[in-house]
């Protein structure tokens, strides 16, 4: 059997070109791993519907290469799994809800079309949280079965792109599509020791994605290496007239981005760039040392910072006034998510047309408290008297962060993605992350989400008991290429990516 663990895009395509193996053989090897480790054995449970045509599509790519002597595109023959928030033609797509267990879209999301045009082989779909709105991996479409963390099967993978992160980490694919509203790429990337990028909102089309907060939603690439993440981003970015937010992509193109024609064009300069970089450390969002879980994260992240500092990186502490307020109050899940999801349901007449008809106002499952509250929020966000003030304060926060970065001449901000390591499954039901009756998950990812800036999670290390920890870097709008270059340097210096033990 073909050995595919930790294989990269470059290594796979070298195999195609030299004839050592074919795209069909590569896809088959990953599907075999999924059958052995994801659907059986330890049953990681990272995948949902699998493609019945992937092997035929890979064979067509093999024929194309044989006949033309050329690869079809940047992702020729590269296996990709897609978060089940995303429409995929001919494949069951559930959006993380039992009501959509039999939903089969008749066309692909724009991102899926773009990936296929680049030569990607779509293997199937990945698990996600209920309506992409929960910090734990379980959802009604899987009868509330958790996705297991490949590094410790008693721990969760985070959400809502938890299946994508677990599948990449466990070597069930080379690449995966994630989506990030409040941290749904970066939290599971941190928990699964992979690289995940949240781009500037509008750089990638959301057409065909079930939304959560349209002003914050963005698909993004998830991979084991920064290079593969950058190459995947190349094939996801596009202007889409059906998604007006992608004026961002048109603006980026008009600005000549990415430089060199690819987000990977200058990655090799990343080691020198991180050594010369000036990074602002947001220590306000490190957890208290008195908490053993926070202490474990702090230790791993501070060790990573120390290693980078010894390599030459300059770190300075920065302070943002009223940070906790700005990272929570401007969030509008309870004000507009019902409206945004309902607008998507309106394009699916065979599904219920209102979230309030799908979920109860309250649930006996603590992890669904926010989702239920969303479902019974206002039908129009403008009916909430706080909505305008939240938007105004969101924009005020963005200006403050922009000015902080510019005035100090920073290349990026950094902090732990999450203040605790991957939680245990029982933490979803014990109320560990509830405070005064409200969900209070200790994520730091809301910072970039609220201001809608790009951010990348890179493996930082592990706790003493082997749980993965990520470190996040946040840039200004349109700075994806800069962040990827810095992340390449971080990756090279830290070398913190490790294969999950036991999944051979």
Give the strands of the sheet with 455-462, arranged side by side.
47-50, 121-126, 79-83, 175-180, 218-223, 195-198, 455-462, 468-474, 412-416, 278-281, 314-317
CA distance 451 to 394: 7
User: Among all chains, which residue has been given the structure tokens 């990449």?
Assistant: 168
What does the pLDDT look like over 105-146, one tens digit per residue? 999 999 999 999 999 999 999 999 999 999 999 999 999 999
Give the 3-state secondary structure of residue 52.
Answer: coil
Catalytic residues: 83, 160, 184
Q: Give the pLDDT of residue 25.
A: 98
Name the H helices within 333-419: 333-345, 369-375, 387-407
Query: H-helix or E-strand containing 68?
Result: helix 54-68
Structure tokens at 164: 């994508």
The predicted pLDDT at position 1 comes to 79
Helical packing angle, 292-311 and 480-494, nearest 10°: 90
Residues 262 and 268 sit within 8 Å (Cβ to Cβ):
no
pLDDT, average across residues 434-446: 91
Pairing of strands 314-317, 278-281: parallel
Segments of 403-487 assigned E as strands: 412-416, 434-435, 438-439, 455-462, 468-474
pLDDT of residue 131: 98
- pLDDT at site 438: 81
Within 10 angstroms of residue 288's Cβ, the number of other Cβ atoms is 10
Q: How confident is the prediction for the chain on average, in pLDDT? A: 98
At 435, the pLDDT band (50, 70, 90 cuts) reads confident
Q: What pLDDT sits at residue 61?
A: 98
CA-based nearest residue to 10, from 189, 219, 231: 231
Q: Which helix (H) or strand (E) holds 69?
A: none
- Going by pLDDT thresholds of 50, 70 and 90, the confidence category of residue 352 is very high
Q: State mean pLDDT over 486-497.
A: 98
CB 205 within 8 Å of CB 238: yes
Question: Distance between CA 47 and CA 35 in Å, rounded?
Answer: 10
pTM for the whole structure: 0.98
Contact partners, residue 247, CB within 8 Å, separation at least 6 = 202, 239
Burial class (CB in 10 A: 0-12, 13-18, 19+), 463: buried
pLDDT at 237: 98
What burial letters (b/e) apply to 299-329, b meaning 16+ CB within 10 Å? ebbbebbebbeeeebeeeebebeebeebbeb
- CA end-to-end distance (rounded Å), the chain: 12
Model confidence at 504: pLDDT above 80:
no
Under 8 Å between Cβ of 463 and 421:
yes
pLDDT value at 211 more than 90: yes
Phi and psi angles of residue 79, each rounded to the nearest 5 degrees, phi first: -65, 135
Mean pLDDT of 235-247: 98
User: Tell me: the pLDDT tens digits for 355-380?
Assistant: 999 999 999 999 999 999 999 999 99
How far apart (Å, rounded) are the C-alpha atoms in residues 499 and 476?
32
The per-residue pLDDT for 434 is 87
- d(CA 60, CA 320) in angstroms, rounded, equals 54
Which tens digits make up the pLDDT trace of 64-108? 999 999 999 999 999 999 999 999 999 999 999 999 999 999 999
Average pLDDT over residues 394-401: 98
Return the pLDDT at 437. Answer: 78
Q: Within the chain, what is the greatest distance between any pair of CA atoms? A: 65
Q: What is the DSSP letter of 490?
A: H
């Amino acid at each position: 059997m073909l050995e595919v663990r930790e294989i990269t895009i470059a290594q796979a395509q070298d195999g195609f070109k030299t004839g050592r193996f074919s795209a069909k053989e590569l896809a088959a090897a990953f599907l075999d791993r999924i059958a052995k480790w994801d659907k059986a054995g330890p049953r990681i449970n990272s995948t949902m519907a699998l493609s019945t045509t992937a092997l035929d599509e890979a064979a067509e790519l093999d024929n194309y290469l044989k006949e033309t002597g050329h690869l079809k595109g940047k992702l020729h023959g590269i296996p990709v799994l897609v978060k089940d928030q995303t429409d995929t033609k001919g494949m069951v797509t559930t959006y993380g809800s039992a009501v959509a267990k039999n939903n089969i879209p008749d066309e692909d999301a724009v991102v899926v079309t773009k990936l296929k045009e680049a030569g990607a082989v779509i293997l199937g779909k990945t698990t996600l949280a209920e309506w992409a709105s929960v910090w734990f991996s379980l959802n009604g479409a899987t009868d509330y079965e958790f996705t297991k963390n490949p590094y410790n099967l008693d721990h969760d993978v985070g959400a809502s792109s938890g299946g994508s992160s677990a599948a990449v980490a466990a070597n069930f694919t080379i690449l995966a599509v994630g989506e990030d509203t409040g941290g749904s790429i970066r939290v599971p990337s941190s928990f699964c020791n992979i690289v995940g990028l949240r781009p500037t909102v509008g750089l990638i089309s959301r057409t065909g994605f079930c939304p959560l907060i349209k002003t914050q939603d963005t698909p993004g690439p998830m991979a084991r290496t920064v290079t593969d993440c950058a190459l995947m981003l190349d094939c996801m970015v596009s202007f889409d007239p059906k998604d007006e937010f992608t004026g961002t992509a048109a603006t980026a193109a008009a600005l000549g981005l990415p430089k060199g024609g690819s987000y990977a064009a200058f990655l090799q300069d990343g080691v020198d760039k991180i050594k010369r970089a000036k990074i602002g450390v947001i220590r306000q969002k490190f957890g208290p040392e008195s908490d053993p879980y926070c202490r474990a994260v702090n230790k791993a992240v501070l060790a990573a910072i120390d290693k980078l500092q010894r390599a030459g990186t300059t770190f300075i502490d920065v302070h943002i006034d009223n940070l906790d307020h700005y990272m929570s109050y401007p969030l509008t899940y309870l004000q507009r998510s019902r409206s945004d999801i309902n607008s998507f349901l309106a394009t699916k007449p065979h599904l219920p047309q209102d979230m309030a008809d799908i979920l109860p106002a309250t649930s006996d499952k603590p992890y669904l408290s926010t989702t239920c509250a969303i479902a019974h929020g206002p039908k129009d966000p403008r009916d909430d008297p706080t909505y305008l003030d939240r938007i105004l304060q969101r924009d005020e926060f963005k200006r403050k962060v922009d000015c902080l970065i510019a005035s100090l001449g920073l290349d990026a901000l950094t902090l732990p993605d999450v203040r605790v390591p991957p939680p245990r499954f029982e933490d979803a039901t014990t109320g560990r992350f509830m405070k005064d009756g409200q969900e209070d998950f200790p994520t730091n990812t809301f910072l970039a989400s609220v201001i809608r800036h790009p951010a990348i999670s890179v493996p930082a290390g592990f706790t003493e008991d082997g749980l993965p920890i990520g470190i996040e870097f946040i840039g200004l709008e349109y700075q994806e290429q800069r962040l990827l270059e810095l992340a390449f340097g971080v990756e090279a210096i830290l070398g913190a990516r490790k294969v999950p033990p036991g999944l051979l």
